């Protein structure tokens, strides 16, 4: 009888130490699972589980380019019912790398991990796997604009430098949850 109790105790020890409860800001939809590791007045440090995203490249770092990228993703997902269900999630994530005029920009939709997605034979759309990672997050309330994104990314970078955090200087993301009447925006910067 002693062995089953030991097995139960061992399983309790090796099972995850935290469970995932979808935050209110996901508005009842699936969003990437994370654990808040550290919360400071100017940023939060989160540990994200590995995730998959359906992505397309934005041809420039402009509002118009991201609208075209959104249209590309929306048209493709609408035409494929299983993708539409798999991407009925939050957040929408825009990732920018490098300098504004020479870097790359991507628009990404989180894929519900409970859904199976097919191969995507579209030349402009791919599934991108983001590994388990630490992300520094700054939540802000501003009108969605490139200027506000850049300003908040610069403020987060400075707060991270002041806190002695190592981070990817070349890349940041803008995560949006909800709609304009109830919008939550976050700047994401990945730990180095």
pLDDT at 100: 67
Superfamily of segment(s) 33-50+131-192: Regulatory factor, effector binding domain (3.20.80.10)
Round the CA-based radius of gyration of the chain to a whole number and report it.
Answer: 19
Peptide bond into 91 cis (omega under 30): yes
Instruction: Quote the mean pLDDT of the chain.
Output: 86
pLDDT at 3: 45
pLDDT at 19: 57
pTM for the predicted model, two decimal places: 0.85
List, for residues 17-34, the tens digit of each pLDDT value: 445 688 999 999 999 999
Q: Write down the domain spans for the chain.
A: 33-50+131-192, 52-130
CA distances for 176 relative to 65, 66, 173, angstroms: 17, 13, 10
149, 155, 159, 160: CA torsion to nearest 10:
40
pLDDT at 177: 93
Compute the average pLDDT of residues 73-96: 88
For residue 14, pLDDT over 60 is answered with no
């Amino acid at each position: 009888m002693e062995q089953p109790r030991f097995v139960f105790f061992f399983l309790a020890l090796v099972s995850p130490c935290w469970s995932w409860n979808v935050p209110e800001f996901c508005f009842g939809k699936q969003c990437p699972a994370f654990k808040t590791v550290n919360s400071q007045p100017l940023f939060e440090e989160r540990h994200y589980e590995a995730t998959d995203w359906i992505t397309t490249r934005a041809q420039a770092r402009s509002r118009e380019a991201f609208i075209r990228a959104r249209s590309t993703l929306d048209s493709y997902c609408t035409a494929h019912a299983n993708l539409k269900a798999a991407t009925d999630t939050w957040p929408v994530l825009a990732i920018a790398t490098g300098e504004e005029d020479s870097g790359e920009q991507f628009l990404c939709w989180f894929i519900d991990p409970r859904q199976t997605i097919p191969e995507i034979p579209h030349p402009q759309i791919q599934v991108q796997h983001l590994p388990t990672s630490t992300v520094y997050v700054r939540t802000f309330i501003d009108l969605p604009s490139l200027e506000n994104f850049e300003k908040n990314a610069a403020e987060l970078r400075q707060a991270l430098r002041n806190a002695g955090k190592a981070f990817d200087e070349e890349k940041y993301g803008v995560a949006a949850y909800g709609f304009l009447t109830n919008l939550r925006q976050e700047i994401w910067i990945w730990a180095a």
